[in-house]
Amino acid sequence: MSEPPTIDGVIDAVEWQEALAIGGVADQSTDMSKPLIPRPTTFLLGWDPDHMYFASRTYIKQGYKPYIPVGRSHGLAYVWDDALELNWHPMGANVPAENKANSYKWFLNALGFIGDTSRLAVGQQFKSWNPQFVIEARLTEPGSAPDGGRWWEMEMRATTEDFELDGPHQAGDQWKIMLGINHFPGWMQARVPCRGPYLDPHGYNVMTLAEETPAVQVTMESLSNLATDGTAAITVGAYNPTNEPADLSLSIDIASVIQRDETLHVPPGQRVDYRLDEALPEGLTAGKATVQVREGERSLYDYVVPFEVGAYGFLLGPTSPPDTTSFVFEARFNPVRSWLLIKGDTYYLEDSSEAQALRYQVVRLDDDGEPLAEAEPVAEGHITLVADYFLQDMLQLPALASGTYRVEGTMELTGGRTRGPMSAIFVKKDEAKEYAHWWGKKHGDIERVLPPYTALKTRGSTVESLGREYEINALGLPGRIVSNGEAVSAQPASVIVVIDGVEHAINLGEPEITETTDWRVRFTGSAEGAGLRFTAMGWIEQDGLVYTDLTYEPAGEPVTIEALRLEYPLAEEDADGLLCIGPGANYSSRTTMLLPDDEQGSLWSTLDTGINGSGMTVGSFYPTVWIGSERRGFLWWADNDRGWIQNNAVPAHEAVRKDGAVVFINHIVGKPSTLAEPRTLSLSWIATPFKPMPKGWRMAMATADGTFHQPFRNVRTDSKTGQKVFQNPGGGLLHVNWIHPESRYPEEWEDLWHQQRTEGFGRWEAADSVAHRLQWQDPYAVRGSASFTHMSFQIYGYGRKTLEDHLYDYFGAEWEPDTWHESYTDYAMYLFDSAFHRGGVRSTYWDLLFPMPFTDLLTGLAYRLPDGRVQAGYHGWNLRRFNMRLYALQEEAGLYPGANGSHSTNAYVPVAMPWLDAVLDGERNYDLASTPLDWVDNMPIDRMRSMSIPQSWGVAICWMANYDSEDKEAIDAAKRVQGQWVWMHDSWRNPYIPQLPVMPDPVLNWGVNDVETVYHPYWRNSHVSSPDDDVLVSLWLMPGRAMLGVFNYNKDESKDVRLEVDLQALGLSPHQTTARTLWVESAGQATLEAKTGALQVESLPGHRLILIGLDSPVYKELERAVMALPAEVGQGRELLSAMTGFGLVDAEAVRFAPGDAPGVKSDDTIDVAMWRLPDRVMLTVRNDSDDTRDAVLQVDLDALGLAPQLPWQEFVRIRDLWSADKSAPASVLDFHGRTLTVGDLSPNEVRLVGIRRY
């Protein structure tokens, strides 16, 4: 642009005449299949060497004001707002080499505020991008747009620095851009049609910066258009900034029935417009519209959009005229805390600045709905502080008598005018009397030791907790941390106060232990220094969590300090990765990084993770940081920064390398402050892993949904009305979350639970029957099936947890939106007690278990800043307590372990994870047609290592991903790549990867699921080396054998792999170790030169895996095995491979001759010999008769030690190890009948059958 536009929110046609204009947005879809929406929207883009210029105009119908529920401050705009949603990918010569893959995504709402500013790089999302755009927005006057409407206009200027560019823009630079607009009104995510999802720019439209080129502007700003009444109303304008005339070729095609090919002759310095305004032929209601503009052979504009007449008519539907006598008023009561929130919203006034105050009064009503005679108001007052357009206050009411109360509010405006009064009613009940059947009941008893945790051991200030040992100081901070036998801490934690530039380290003594039980230790403590007094009160729980309320205050007179920080020095040896998680759910603001081991000073801070991404009104507080490795680590969590003094320029958290340690820092006071009153903050910490991985976890621990609806919902009719229970007269889904059978009547629930457990319902099998059929052979299958054994919920939102709506209506913000405060959890546990003990439910799945920020003051999770704005808080400690009690209830019902899982893609709640058995990660949509990235690209090494290794937490991790493509083979291949990558990270049970859902049988037989197996990840595998950094080798080591996972991390190149294996270090004999391929998708076989330890694999494709088994069977044991087998079997390689694969070539194996096999009975015509180990047998079954017959054997699984003793961890499988007849039917084990059938056994035929308890 030759002259920059004035950024004032007024889109001046002359100022923007040199810009590109794009009109017409469609309902978003990754494949450009959804149609044009009827609301006109135009985007304009221009540039000069130092700037990008961007503007947008959209139609606002009469009486509507853009909806802004969250983004009322800079940095807080989000998807719920009426807003633009933008993703731009610069690709020009000024993009630094390290940023070539970066795109930049943000929201820009109707107030002109931005939010969720994200740098997207190779599948990862970083919220540390802090653009300083200049933005102005406005609403034009009512009636300035068609049908009495108006326009929302926005203008923006961005510097090259805003997009992290190195140098000026130049003609020819290209950008891939997504231009989206959300809502205006209702729920509608629309964009200029392009391919691909919101976080992957590969399929976006390409914009090329041009100079000395006509500027094309295509707009569709008529309300009579292809989406409303079928009118093709398009204006194509071109401005010629050059000194020469320009001839442009215009082509318009509307469903192949309205076609125009025109030449626009544009004189120098002038604009020419072409207008199309033509109705579609009768009967034509859908098609595609294309607009193309060319100058010679060069394309200037190319646009295509589907359309459908009448689509999305609600966007232009009538709006009620504004009521100038009322205002948006809230008065909500929290009966548990006796809090009343009074709130008047000034934003929806035509002129918000007119609001001066909110006057309120609270009175108790009599039975006739009138104020009690002669009674004083319960509360009354004026609110004058406006923050984020709200006049609000939260009152602490006195203890109220049961009854009905009315709140009345009047908004006072300038000039003595008022709006209102508005009123609201609330009720106070005697909860203990009204809800006696559950109120105060503590189902899910956590006042005891819960397995696998063990009793806490206390020695002075030292406490031991299952594999960890802590020494704490007077404030509950760590003096020493040991996990898995090695130090997590490098030095004691410290409190540093800065006064007049001088740092004061507070002397921290020992705590006073005030209570000791096997499951909890309580403490208090105090310290003084730098004119401050510190006091603490807290506890240590059985899983190792340390919680403390820490108060700091002047020891005497007020004290001015410059800073206060808490420092936690951590041992460098295991400070490998750092994880920080904040809001955003699947698209959370987070850091997943490997800490550089060659840098000193600051390594990371929450300013790197992103101040805007934190979602905080002030500062950069994030609720959790973990620093560690898969061996041990340190986890910090706090629900909020109440008691802190934040500064936008100082990070809330930081990691620094100094004095031989990696120091995690909380910057509690981030700016000079005078302390005159006590301030209290709350925090918690815990060493990881929380617990050892349980026996058999690789096969038994996973989680999936499957029952959001049927069979618990949408299968029954109401016993009183005959109508379906699961229905919504308005259409769509109603509830999907209730923790009880499908009935609105609690008196029916117990009978329905019993029916679902013992009889089933409709086509749904009884829960007990499912468990009887599946548990012995696959415990997880009982919990992973869509049956009455498994219940799926959303932990947050998507419907209430009961059909007793009156409870939610009464408890309000104490319960909603899913706060999981104590009374809410009490009620849920009351329901779950029936589900587990009487309903046959064996497991639960919790969707959306993310760190969720709350901004409702009435929840008690958020708080007000001094300027009246609200600072968000989280409910992690509530989620922890909820899951802890649920875990206890499941353990009481005999369901431990494996009964509780969550979905937490990209956003774990680690403080709750000690009480989870499995976490589901990886949900995200990928458009395979538009992206060159596969799942490994999107989940690179640093992401996996710093977040998703099961051993880091002591919790199984399983995976999902959603792929969009018309090519089913492409989806299959993408899923298989995903499966192989997560296997490398020791995640084997993945219900959402149906192509590779479970550990392959050869791997299972090799012993990888056994309790003795130790995982050595590729980054810590000292036993196997490769000269090629792209070749990653994970190791699973078990007694007498090993398995290698060899992965080619170079996607684009096949590798001939050569590895050096230290066989002796693996406990294998260099003289007789053999290698076998246990699983491979595409590669040559593995060959081993045992004497040198050289292992070779030919042609391993990119992003593919081969699993190789190594073992050293003793020659004499091989010989003994061969000699003991019947002569008919022979001594072939296949047979020996089957026996060694099954683990029977072992000195401990005991052989029993035919007729002597213990625990096995058959008729006289069947001879059975046995090889036996404690957890497996191999039966040699011979038919001595002259007829082909089924050999039916009675097998005493209990006497042989083959029956599962741990019903949720162990299982039994049979293996047909060898048969001369390759078409022989599979042997069948009737577990409950204790019979084994070897079918169609010919005369004198021998088969080898294995039975194993895994």
Question: How deeply is 370 buried, as exposed, middle or buried, from its count of CB atoms within 10 A (0-12, 13-18, 19+)?
Answer: exposed
Boundary of a domain, candidates 316, 336, 355:
316
> How far is 267 from 269, CA to CA, in rounded Å?
6
Question: How deeply is 686 buried, as exposed, middle or buried, from its count of CB atoms within 10 A (0-12, 13-18, 19+)?
Answer: buried
What is the pLDDT, as a whole number, of residue 568? Answer: 98
Instruction: Identify the three-state secondary structure at position 266.
Output: strand
- Residue 663 sits at φ, ψ, to 5 deg, of -105, 120
Q: Which residue has the tokens 């909603």?
A: 816
- Residue 795: which of 839, 757, 847, 859 has the closest Cα? 847
Q: Which residues in the chain show pLDDT less than 70?
A: 123, 728-735, 1130-1132
- Residue 338: which of 390, 382, 402, 381 has the closest Cα? 402
Q: Is residue 1123 part of a domain?
A: no
233 and 382 belong to one structural domain: no
CA angle (120 as vertex; 116, 123 as ends), nearest 5? 125
589: domain CATH number is 2.70.98.60
Distances (CA, A) of 666 to 577, 592, 619: 18, 19, 12
Q: Is residue 933 part of a domain?
A: no
What is the pLDDT, as a whole number, of residue 1131? Answer: 62
1103 and 1154 belong to one structural domain: no
774 and 862 belong to one structural domain: yes
- Residue 90: which of 4, 196, 215, 175 has the closest Cα? 175
Distances (CA, A) of 288 to 23, 239, 307, 480: 15, 27, 6, 68
> How far is 981 from 346, CA to CA, in rounded Å?
53
Q: Pairing mode, if any, of strands 900-903 and 918-921?
A: parallel
DSSP letter assigned to residue 249: E
1106 and 1234 belong to one structural domain: no
What is the pLDDT, as a whole number, of residue 1128? Answer: 75
What is the pLDDT, as a whole number, of residue 1124? Answer: 78
- Residue 293: which of 262, 255, 256 has the closest Cα? 262
> How far is 260 from 623, CA to CA, in rounded Å?
59
54, two tokens: 């961007």
1146 and 1188 belong to one structural domain: yes
- Residue 1087 sits at φ, ψ, to 5 deg, of -125, 140
1191: domain CATH number is 2.60.220
Interacting residues of 46 by C-beta distance below 8 A, sequence separation 6+: 1, 5, 16, 18, 19, 20, 52, 53, 54, 215
Q: Is residue 472 part of a domain?
A: yes
61: domain CATH number is 2.60.40.3880
Interacting residues of 443 by C-beta distance below 8 A, sequence separation 6+: 826, 829, 830, 832, 833, 885, 889
Instruction: Tell me if 173 sits within 8 A of 86, measured CB to CB.
Output: no
Q: Pairing mode, if any, of strands 20-23 and 215-219?
A: parallel
Instruction: Tell me if 582 sits within 8 A of 623, measured CB to CB.
Output: yes
497 and 638 belong to one structural domain: yes
Boundary of a domain, candidates 277, 292, 316:
316
What is the pLDDT, as a whole number, of residue 1132? Answer: 63
Interacting residues of 912 by C-beta distance below 8 A, sequence separation 6+: 849, 876, 879, 880, 882, 883, 902
Report the Cα–Cα distance between both ends of the chain, in Å, rounded: 71
Q: Is residue 1027 part of a domain?
A: yes
169 and 296 belong to one structural domain: yes
Domain total in the chain: 6
Q: Would you tell me how many other CB atoms lie within 10 Å of the CB of residue 764? A: 17
1137 and 1184 belong to one structural domain: yes
> How far is 1229 from 1226, CA to CA, in rounded Å?
10
> How far is 471 from 85, CA to CA, in rounded Å?
49
CA angle (25 as vertex; 24, 29 as ends), nearest 5? 145
> How far is 58 from 150, CA to CA, in rounded Å?
9
164 and 34 belong to one structural domain: yes
> How far is 83 from 641, CA to CA, in rounded Å?
29
Instruction: Tell me if 810 sits within 8 A of 429, measured CB to CB.
Output: yes
Q: Is residue 448 part of a domain?
A: no
What is the pLDDT, as a whole number, of residue 320? Answer: 85
CA angle (925 as vertex; 920, 926 as ends), nearest 5? 120
> How far is 993 from 235, CA to CA, in rounded Å?
49
> How far is 117 from 664, CA to CA, in rounded Å?
25
574 and 707 belong to one structural domain: no
- Residue 778 sits at φ, ψ, to 5 deg, of -165, 85
Q: What are 1181-1215's pLDDT values in tens digits?
A: 999 999 999 999 999 999 999 999 999 999 999 99
Instruction: Tell me if 643 sits within 8 A of 690, measured CB to CB.
Output: no
Instruction: Tell me if 359 sits within 8 A of 342, measured CB to CB.
Output: no
Per residue in 1164-1174, is it b (16+ CB within 10 Å) or e — as a string?
eebbbbbbbbe
Largest CA distance in the chain: 111
Q: Is residue 940 part of a domain?
A: no
> How far is 1044 from 1107, CA to CA, in rounded Å?
6
What is the pLDDT, as a whole number, of residue 730? Answer: 61
68, two tokens: 């802004």
Q: Pairing mode, if any, of strands 673-675 and 843-847?
A: unpaired
Boundary of a domain, candidates 841, 865, 894:
894
Q: Which residue has the tokens 């009854």?
A: 403
Domain that holds residue 796: 697-876+888-894
Q: Is residue 959 part of a domain?
A: no
Interacting residues of 340 by C-beta distance below 8 A, sequence separation 6+: 331, 332, 333, 334, 362, 379, 394, 395, 397, 407, 426
Q: Which residue has the tokens 């039917």?
A: 1225
Instruction: Tell me if 575 sits within 8 A of 632, measured CB to CB.
Output: no
Instruction: Identify the three-state secondary structure at position 202.
Output: helix
Q: Is residue 913 part of a domain?
A: no
What is the pLDDT, as a whole number, of residue 732? Answer: 56
Q: What is the dihedral of CA 458, 459, 463, 465, to 10 degrees?
A: -60
Instruction: Tell me if 978 sits within 8 A of 941, measured CB to CB.
Output: no
411 and 296 belong to one structural domain: no
Instruction: Tell me if 726 sits within 8 A of 736, measured CB to CB.
Output: no
235 and 288 belong to one structural domain: yes
